Every structure is written in C-alpha cells, then in structure tokens.
Amino acid sequence: MLLLAGVGFPAYAASDDEQRPRPGAEMLARPCFACHSDREPSVIPKLRGGPETRFIARMREFRDRRTDSVMHRIAKGYRDEDYQQLARYFRQLDQAPPR
C-alpha cells in the first residue's frame, strides 16, 4: 500500500502538471513583444505574419536542438499546444496595425 502510494505520487503530480490549464494566446504572446518589437527594425525578427507551420517548426527546432540562442532557453518553457496558439495569434496580427 505504502509502496504503491510512493510510486503513485510522482505520476499523479506529473499528470496534474500536464492538466494545468494553459494561458490564452494573447497572454502567451505579450511577453514576447518585450524583445520582438512590432515596430522597430531590428536583428531580432518580427513575429507578425508568416505561415503557422513555419513558426511551429522553428519553435520545435529551437527547443530540441541545443544552440547558443536565447530562443533555445525560451522555447523549452512552452508546450506544443502553446506553439500552435502563438502561431495562430501572430499570423492574425498581420491584419492589425502596429501596436
């Protein structure tokens, strides 16, 4: 019994973690604008526009491939579903005026 509980707990904690509700697209996107300006020309790329599949593929690449890039450290902090939400949000921004 005790042993089972001991084994069970981390699994439960992990699934609890998995089930945490995810922030909405705009909430996820807002911190990004602190570096990725919507207006300033920069060596840091703009996020608006572009196909969703490209953004998602790029984030997965950052996450999975160890690089010196800051984006490796950042991409690891999000889940696949977050990438999808962000991709949709940034594509739709293309229609909106610069903030």
Instruction: State the nearest-atom distance from the C-beta of 1 to another protein, in Å.
Output: 23
Instruction: State the nearest-atom distance from the C-beta of 83 to another protein, in Å.
Output: 13
Instruction: State the nearest-atom distance from the C-beta of 52 to another protein, in Å.
Output: 19
- Is residue 51 within 8 A of residue 58, CB to CB? The reply is no
**The token pair that represents 76 in the structure block:** 């690891």
Taking the least distance from each CB to another protein, the nearer of 37 and 84 is 37
Distant-in-sequence, close-in-space partners of 17: CB < 8 Å, separation ≥ 6 = none
Tell me the DSSP string of 51-77.
Answer: -HHHHHHHHHHHHHS--SSHHHHHHTT
Q: Where do contacts with another protein occur on this chain (CB under 8 A)?
A: 13, 16-17, 20-24, 26-28, 30-37, 39-40, 42-44, 68, 70, 72-78, 99
Taking the least distance from each CB to another protein, the nearer of 4 and 43 is 43
Taking the least distance from each CB to another protein, the nearer of 23 and 51 is 23
